[in-house]
Amino acid sequence: MESKVQHIRELLCQKSAVKQQVFQLTQTLFRDMKLVLRDIETDLMPNLKSDAPNVEVKYSDKGDFEAHLKFSGDTLVLMMHTNVFDFDDSHYINRSAYVQQDKMREFCGMIQIYNFLSDSIRYNREQDIGYLIARVFINKEGHFFIDGKRPLSFVYSDIEKNKMTKDVMRHIVEEAMLFCLNFDLLAPPIDHINYISVEQKNNMSHSSGMPTGKRLGFIMSAEDRIE
């Protein structure tokens, strides 16, 4: 019995303590990322007022674990998960010498970056679809890697060399914005929407449109999927 209690104590002092450290650091970095979103809003708005007065860039803080950056018809939704994650033994980061030297380095907090249509949020269209652009995994030392769309998943795949800073955060957000701006809303094939129910009609009246996503009604090609 004593050996089991000792083992539990060791796990609490080692693994559980590291997970708390990872959570706290991820939360601190998420607060920094909110400041980056606000800076981008500040940097873009002066030029837009003169060159594109009808285009809005707006940052919104949605609490401890969520933030939005609206830029015209697109909105980036950043969400911090409250749990800490490990990875399967076959995951590529476990082949890193950096992780092999200290297995506690593989425990990561997660920040998810989604692309929603701005109108989906504005009109609270609950059935609308947002697309996951990136999952940012951050360990106890502030090292990170990204699982998601290119180029982010390609540039930031090495957890050993990637260290999270405000400059890096800025680059991540800017690349995510560029992805959104080049990922256009396509009209679904007519056969997919050639009839609606009374319930759908009523929902359209209340929410300004049918449930919508940038690829709703289309089969996504391999290059559109999360890599």
- Write the pLDDT tens digit of every residue in 200-213: 666 665 555 555 55
The tokens for 183 are: 């990922």
DSSP line for 61-123: E-STTEEEEEETTEEEEEEE-SS-B---TTSGGGG-HHHHH-GGGG-BEEEEEEEEEHHHHHT
| Ranges 67-76, 125-134, 160-169, 191-200: which has the least confidence | 191-200
Greatest Cα-to-Cα distance within the chain, rounded to the nearest angstrom? 73
**How many whole angstroms separate alpha carbon 43 and alpha carbon 65?**
24
Please give the angle made by the CA atoms of 190, 193 and 199, to the nearest 5 degrees: 165
pLDDT of residue 3: 81
Other Cβ atoms closer than 10 A to 168: 16
Q: Which two tokens stand for residue 139?
A: 């360990």
pLDDT at 77: 97
pLDDT score of 11: 67
Residue 187 or residue 64, greater confidence: 64
Mean pLDDT in residue range 26-35: 98
The tens digit of pLDDT for each residue in 112-155 reads 999 999 998 998 888 888 899 999 999 999 999 999 988 999 99
Q: How many domains does the chain divide into?
A: 1
- Between 223 and 8, name the one with better pLDDT: 8
3-state secondary structure of 110: strand
Residue 10's pLDDT band, with cuts at 50, 70 and 90, is confident
pLDDT band at 216 (very low <50, low <70, confident <90, very high): very low
Question: Would you say residue 80 has pLDDT above 60?
Answer: yes
Q: What is the DSSP letter of 140?
A: T
Would you state the pLDDT for residue 47? 82
Lowest mean pLDDT among 61-70, 151-160, 175-184: 175-184
Cα separation, 70 vs 57, in Å, equals 5
- Tokens in use for 44? 């873009």
For residues 6 and 112, the model is more confident at 112
- Size of the chain in residues: 227
Helix (H/G/I), strand (E/B), else coil: 187: coil
Answer yes or no: are the C-beta atoms of 212 and 121 closer than 8 Å: no
> 221: part of which helix (H) or strand (E)?
none
More confident residue, 83 or 207: 83
Q: How far apart are CA 211 and CA 119, in angstroms?
A: 11
Mean pLDDT of the chain: 85
- In this prediction, what percent of the chain has a pLDDT beyond 70? 78
Torsions phi, psi for 23 (to 5 deg) = -60, -50
Domain of 18 in residue numbering reads as 2-224
**Residue among 101, 134, 90 at smallest CA distance from 115:** 134
What's the whole-number mean pLDDT along residues 66-86? 96
Q: Residue 129: what pLDDT?
A: 84
